[in-house]
Amino acid sequence: MDKTIGIFGGGQLGRMMAQAALPLNIQCVFYEANTDCPSAALGPIFSSKDNCLKSFIQSADVFSLEFENTPLNEVDTLLADEKNIHPPRTALAIAQNRLSEKNLFKRLDIPVAPFLAVDNLEDIHSAVDKLGLPIVLKTAMGGYDGKGQFVLRSEDQILQAWDELGDAKHLIAESFVEFSREVSIIAVRGQDGDVKTWPLAENHHHQGILSHSIVPAPNSDDLQPIAQEYITRLLNHLDYVGVLTLELFVTPQGLYANEMAPRVHNSGHWSIEGAICSQFENHIRAVAGLPLGSTAFISPTVMINIIGKHPNIADVLSLEGVHLHLYNKSERAGRKLGHITLMPKDPTQLTTLCQKLAKILPEPLALTEDMTI
């Protein structure tokens, strides 16, 4: 198939989508401010700094994105030119507003923590009275990797929270969820309505950034069908095409939805080697109108993010069962520079392999004591 897909954004997600597209004879082009971005080696970059939106739209047959905060006015310009974008604009608009997102979850009977809209200082006091403490204050728009959030544990923190987040004008207050772990379900829906889901990933964070994911999530056989049902409701309700991610908290009351991401997701990077068809290839297939591939996993897998500083490549590759992906990004504190997928022949060696890798990585890795799946 000879087709060109235009991608809003040129970061590592766009890079990996383009890598998956090439074997299918599908070319990708990118709309991105930084012309020296991770995707630059994979296709032409149309600079958003140079008002190249029209040229970008004319360069591709169909469009997608790698970042949920893609400006809606740019999507509207594309739609006015009668071009299609997957996922749909509706999904993008909802994902950009946490209040809209939580209300959608409620309408679809997907459990969420109690929440309230917050527009001023008085609303915070009201939220404390109605929801109790602690509560999590978040900006309704923007924020990722732990940014735009404040955990309010006592009333004497209210002014501090408002000082830090009040400039955003619209906030959301959520009851603090006591959860044992976070998991994510990733699914893909084709243009014909076919839906496929990957196994649940168990996600671990360090300083608000995803540190590593374990797949399949341990002790989750009873959670998998529930998570699949929730994400399938979202996909069908939104008439969605492409990959969608739903982050969930495991609580004593069951699964609670945290947020959705209308794109390929960091917790799904394991699927490049660990699944029969990766999230990236299946997203490209869906956007291009091709049949979806199997989402079955090949063997238990751990995906580890490389954050802040690059490791010694030779040291990493000296470990058996390791796959290294670097994004061609410069070092910076808190920046995702690449990821490592661990797939030893003997899955019982995952814990040992992770411990060896932790000694190699320059940034500390927050490992669980036991990685056995």
- Write out the binding residues: 98, 138, 143-149, 174-177, 182, 205, 258-259
Whether omega for the bond prior to residue 199 falls within 30 degrees of 0, making it cis, is no
Residue 366 pLDDT > 80: no
Residue 168 pLDDT > 90: no
Helical packing angle, 279-288 and 12-21, nearest 10°: 70
On whether both 171 and 208 belong to a single domain, the answer is: no
Confidence label for 369 from pLDDT (cuts 50, 70 and 90): very low
Per-residue model confidence as pLDDT tens digits over 262-308:
999 999 999 999 999 999 999 999 999 999 999 999 999 999 999 99
Alpha carbon 58 to its chain's center: 28
On whether both 283 and 165 belong to a single domain, the answer is: no
337 in a domain, yes or no?
Answer: yes
- Write out the binding residues for ATP: 98, 138, 143-149, 174-177, 182, 205, 258-259
What CATH code is carried by the domain that includes residue 238? 3.30.470.20
Per-residue model confidence as pLDDT tens digits over 314-363:
999 999 999 999 999 999 999 999 999 999 988 888 888 988 998 888 87
On whether both 75 and 122 belong to a single domain, the answer is: no
Range of the domain at 153: 114-175
Domain count, the chain: 3
> Three-class SS of residue 21?
helix
Structure tokens at 208: 């608000």
Pick from 201, 205, 260, 210: nearest CA to 230: 260
101 in a domain, yes or no?
Answer: no
What's the pLDDT score for residue 347? 85
Per-residue model confidence as pLDDT tens digits over 27-79:
999 999 999 999 999 999 999 888 899 999 999 999 999 999 999 999 999 99
CB 150 within 8 A of CB 208: no
pTM of whole model > 0.85?
yes
Confidence label for 169 from pLDDT (cuts 50, 70 and 90): confident
What's the pLDDT score for residue 358? 86
Rounded CA-CA distance 5/192 in Å is 19
What CATH code is carried by the domain that includes residue 37? 3.40.50.20
Quote the DSSP letter at residue 189: E
On whether both 355 and 337 belong to a single domain, the answer is: yes
What's the pLDDT score for residue 196? 98
CB 335 within 8 A of CB 328: no
Type and span of the H or E element at 288: helix 279-288
What's the pLDDT score for residue 368? 47
Count CB neighbours of 314 within 10 A: 8
CB 217 within 8 A of CB 287: no
On whether both 122 and 68 belong to a single domain, the answer is: no
What's the pLDDT score for residue 373? 47
On whether both 132 and 192 belong to a single domain, the answer is: no
